[in-house]
Amino acid sequence: MTLLPEAVARTLFGNSPTLLEQTVAAIAAAVLVAAIPLTCAAIVIWAKRKVTAAFTDRIAPNRLGPGGTLIIVADAVRLLGKELIVPDEADRPAYDLGPVLVVFSAIVGFAVVPMGSIAGITVQLADPEVGLAYVFAVASLATLGLTMCGYASANKYSLLGGLRAVAQNIAYEIPLIVTGLSVVIFAGSLRMGEIVAAQQATLFELGGLSIPSWYAIVNPFAFALFLTANLAEVGRNPFDVPEAPTELVAGYQTEYSSVYFVLVYMGEFVHVFLGGAIVATVFLGGPAGPVLPGFVWFLGKLWAVFLFTQWARSALPRVRIDQLIEIGWKGLLVCSFANLFVTASIVGLLAA
């Protein structure tokens, strides 16, 4: 398969592009890949209201456009048209950089995610040997952005929200990575493409139906752990205490308005889809699926994880900060290491 940057370079400049032309093609390919999560994040403005309304028996947007879809445009105009108000005592460099870092950390994570093939071209910017480690590393940069937002706002509620984001990230990032390592033991590689390829075989036949060897089926306990830790990692209910309205007004984003608020808000949703992309790649076979093109399957799995987060938002009450930390350190951390030990033992016995 041909990766997207190489395909763009050949399309634009022929079979022997220069270094400059390769650079231009890589930038163009990066823009195409970045447009996927950004488009999903824009659609979420409408979709999350419709889904949440369905869960809670309420009326969702239905006036602006077909089914209320033009609420996306209305919200964009409304938010971007507002005045950008900066607190007098704000630490301006950190205040400006924080929202940008939140969005940036989520978008660059998609660089190594295999999204399927279109006409023999793999929608993926790169497939390095440390792909899974890279995704975890860049995704964790969002916590730095949220901390900068909280500290720089000169607001005690914002500061507490930023500190809670750090505490939450430390408590749940470790179980997330350790659970991911159990998949690496199965696949024998950190490369995202190889992790997907390792899930292509048929696990067993059931009534004439082929059951794929997705790691969610091979190890459902690890899948449940990863989904739970991912909810906390992307800050969705019941783990959204860094921005809890009942306690912190809006946490780290209390003092943000206009375009900066849009960046923070968009960054949250892009991170939800990055978390969904990791779940789909590591546990659900990535773009694998029958009949439909792989790219369609990948988007379907991406949105399935989003629907799960919306179900959690509507069905599960927010936990207290002390409960959140206790669940992470005393629950998920212990379970993730136990899962890693059992997985390594089983794989070792099978290899012997």
- C-alpha count within 13 angstroms, C-beta hemisphere, residue 176: 24
Kindly tell me if the per-residue pLDDT of 171 is higher than 80. yes
Long-range contacts of 122-125 (CB under 8 A, 24+ apart): 122/1, 122/2, 122/3, 122/4, 123/4, 123/33, 123/36, 123/295, 124/3, 124/4, 124/33, 124/192, 124/193, 125/3, 125/4, 125/5, 125/26, 125/29, 125/30, 125/33
Kindly tell me if the per-residue pLDDT of 244 is higher than 90. no
Of 186 and 208, the one with more pLDDT: 186
pLDDT digit string (tens) for 284-325? 988 888 888 889 999 999 999 988 888 888 888 888 888 888
Cα 289 to Cα 203, 265, 276, 298: the distances in Å are 14, 32, 17, 9
Cα 16 to Cα 11, 27, 137, 199: the distances in Å are 11, 17, 34, 35
Q: How do the domains of the chain map onto residue ranges?
A: 2-351
Res 88: pLDDT: 84
> Dihedral (C-alpha) 94, 100, 101, 106: value to the nearest 10 degrees?
160
Pairing of strands 121-122, 202-206: unpaired
Are the C-beta atoms of residues 159 and 167 closer than 8 Å to each other? no
Average pLDDT, the chain: 87
pLDDT digit string (tens) for 27-74? 999 999 999 998 998 888 888 888 888 888 888 888 888 888 898 889
Tokens coding 185: 């033991």
- What angle, 0 to 180 degrees and rounded to 10, lies between the N-to-C axes of helices 294-315 and 258-283? 110
DSSP 70-113: THHHHHHHHHHTS-----TT--HHHHHHHHHHHHHHHHHHGGG-
Kindly tell me if the per-residue pLDDT of 248 is higher than 70. yes
Q: Angle CA(9)–CA(15)–CA(16) in degrees, nearest 5?
A: 90
Segment 261-281 shows an average pLDDT of 89
Kindly tell me if the per-residue pLDDT of 161 is higher than 80. yes
In the chain the first and final C-alpha atoms are separated, in Å, by 34
Res 58: pLDDT: 87
Phi, psi dihedral angles at 169 (to 5 degrees): -65, -45
Pairing of strands 121-122, 2-3: parallel
Q: The pTM is what?
A: 0.90
Distance between CA atoms of 200 and 207, rounded to whole angstroms?
19
Name the nearest CA neighbour of 163 among 248, 263, 285: 248
Beta-carbon contacts of 65 under 8 Å, excluding residues fewer than 6 positions away, are 71, 73
Model confidence at 278, in pLDDT bands (50, 70, 90)? very high
Phi, psi dihedral angles at 117 (to 5 degrees): -120, 145
Res 1: pLDDT: 64
- Please name every residue paired with 122 in a beta bridge, in sequence order, or none if there are none: 3, 117
Kindly tell me if the per-residue pLDDT of 250 is higher than 80. no
Distance between CA atoms of 47 and 69, rounded to whole angstroms?
9
Distance between CA atoms of 196 and 3, rounded to whole angstroms?
15
pLDDT digit string (tens) for 315-333? 888 888 888 889 989 999 9
Res 341: pLDDT: 93
Segment 66-94 shows an average pLDDT of 86
Kindly tell me if the per-residue pLDDT of 22 is higher than 90. no
- Please name every residue paired with 210 in a beta bridge, in sequence order, or none if there are none: 205
Res 221: pLDDT: 93
Distance between CA atoms of 240 and 187, rounded to whole angstroms?
32
Pairing of strands 121-122, 117-118: antiparallel
Segment 119-139 shows an average pLDDT of 88
